[in-house]
Structures are given as structure tokens and as C-alpha cells.
Structure 1
Amino acid sequence: RFTQRNILRVYPKGTRVDSSNYNPMIGWIHGAQMVAFNMQGYGRSLWLMHGMFRANGGCGYVKKPDFLLKASSLNEVFDPKAKLRVKTTLKVTVFKGEGWYFDFRHTHFDAYSPPDFYARVGIAGAPADTVMKKTKILEDDWLPSWNEQFEFPLTLPEMAMLRVEVHEYDMSEKDDFGGQTCLPISELRSGIRAVPLHSRKGERYKSVKLLMKFEFV
């Protein structure tokens, strides 16, 4: 109720000397108007921030959903931990990917063989909606074709974002990063789309993209 009549700003604690960030969804889903970041702390928190403000034409302002602006007809304030009904289900199909051969050194992932890519697809949003799923690993292929479908029931699609990451499997070391993007569910339209991926810093790759299909049921 406080954020319906007042402006609330949250920011990283001063003891975060490593420039790390918190999960911004916590502030947004509680109605905070200004959620500050350590902009030099690249990682998933900033990826979510980039995704949130891709909405509304990327102008830097996104209107809060109505349920965060006013109380319900019963004068009840929104509780993000309450059990909510599923409003819609998003079906995501990951067909294939391309572009790494052109945007990365040919020895970037593996010195002596083509990369072993897999994709991670999930939702960032309300606790009940938050989940990550993973495709199979395709070995030795610069043009991976996964052709896998995932379903995501959404209780708060207004606050949800689709997270997409690609990694290269490494048996002996940490998996290599191959691109990421975050997309507001409210901005998605049904159909087949070429989805460009971005670097850890949020910079768009010239060639790397995924062919995906979105469907709301």
C-alpha cells in the first residue's frame, strides 16, 4: 500500500564492494518505482533490467500494472506471495541457433572441435512463475537444431520476463557463455521470431540469434 501513494527507491547495500547486484524482481513486484543497480556489475540482474526496459519502446519508463497502483474491489493490497490462479500459459519452442561461427573466434569454445551448445529458457517474475528449463546438449555443431518446446504457466504475466541463455558444455571446466536476452512477456506476440542474443554486458551480437516460436494458450 505504501508504494501506491509514495515513491520508493531501493539500491544495492554499500557493503557490496564487488559491485554485485540483488534480484530486481523483488523490488519491482513489491511496487518500488526506482530500483537502482551497480551498473558495472555485469550479470543476470542487469540482464533483467535490460529486459524490463525493452518494454514501452525502450524509452526508460514502464508503467506499473494496475494491481500495483490500486487496491482491489475488496480493498485488498496485492501480496506477491499469495497463491494466484494461472492467467495464461506461454509455449516456447526453441528451433535452432546460428551466428557464433561469425561472432566468435573458432577456438573460443573448443580448441580442436566445434562447440557443444545448449539453451536455457525460463521465466523471471512472481515466485510461482520463476523457473528455468534446459534443452539437450548438441555436440560438435556450430548450427544447433534443438526443436524443443517448453510450457510456462503464468500467474502474473504482467510482471514476467522470458529469460534465454545459450551456453557451451565443457566437461572439465565451467561451461562457456554463448549469449543471452530477456524479453518482457507483455511485449511478446504469438508467432515464429528470430531472437537476437546479447553479450554479458548487454551488447547485441551482430550475427548470433535463435529461431523461436511463442504461443499463448
Structure 2
Amino acid sequence: MQAVIDRGFCLKNPVKIIQLFGLDVFVGMLLSKDKTLLQRIAEKYQARRVPMPGAIGNAYKLSALFEFRVAHIYAAMAERFKSNPDVHRFFLDLRDEEMEHGRLMLACLYQIAVNREVEFVPSVRDQEMRESLNALREVEHRVPEMSLEEAFKVTNELEAGEVNVIFGRLLTQVGRAETELFAEQLKGAQSHPESVPRRIKELKARLGPDGLAAAA
């Protein structure tokens, strides 16, 4: 399974896409390759639905902010190591996946309902959340001077850290068919804390000692 649901997935699952998101979304995916399914859904929801207000809505916005911040870090890493096509592509893929995570949180913003199951409501006012955001900003500032080994180390730390914990807990609280599709795909593709260390190991093996030295 794939972490980013694109036009190809929609063409293979037309009935599911139409039932969940409408014919207009499916036709949009059919006619154009330039956007992911989540991008189109976010645009539709923003135009036609009212987002969840208050603390619950802000929690999903906060998670999206975290995911987009991590995506910016991976974009910076892709630029830092653009001389090596394999490393460059690896970090671009991570960037795209994190952007999808952020878009999914924004889609959840229009799906979540007030009920007794919504127990986890992080806030930007929480000291821990502010510290996490500041830490991400500091990481991004350090990227231009990072070695490849340091970038891999930071990547593993990011994927094992608070951002993915917040994302996972908020996603499980939604419980709507529209978002469960994406949850299933993410689970099938393996979560980042599980898959990214393996992908780094595989990339290192492909590069070999000489490739790693050259990329660094």
C-alpha cells in the first residue's frame, strides 16, 4: 500500500472514491495528475464545510502545523544533498509524505465531531507543544551544515518523536469512513517510525561506503 494516494489509486478504486468523496472529486483526479486526493478533498471541504471550532479544531490545526514543519525540514535536507540523486529523492519522498500527513489533519478538521471519545486535545499553549515547535525550527536552521549521517540521525529522531505520536492519536479519534481510508493506507504502508529506519538502512546499502562519503 502507498502512503500518498494519487490518481493511480483513484482509477483503481473509482466506486470507493465516489462513494466517500463525491463524483466531482473523482472527476478532478481523473482529469489531472497534479494533485493528490487529499489536496482535492481539502479544497472541497474548505469551500463547502465548516471546520470544527474551539480547542478540538485547534488541536488538528496544531498537528497539521507540526507535519508541515517536518516537511519543510525534509525539503531542506533534499536541497542540502541534491548532488546525490538517491538521497535527494529519499528526502523529497519524506517531504511529500509529511505534507500528506498535514493535509490529512486538515481534512480531519472537517470530519471530527464533538463526542466523549475525543480525549486528546493538545494546544499550542501547552509548554511541551511550544518547545517541540521551537525544536523543529532549530533543526531546520541546522540543516545546511549537516553531514549525511547527521541528517539520517535527525530523521530517525523526528520519526520516533512527538509529532507522530500526536498525529496518530488525533487520527484515531476521528472514526469516519472518509478518513479511515487514509488511515488504512498509512497503516498498510507502515508508519514512519517503523518504515523510515528501514528505508535509511536500505539507502545506505545501495550507496555503499563510497556513495555515502561522496554524498556527505
TM-score over 0.5 for the alignment? no
Higher relative contact order (CA 8 A, sep 6+): 2
Structure 1 length normalisation: TM-score? 0.28
Structure 2 length normalisation: TM-score? 0.28
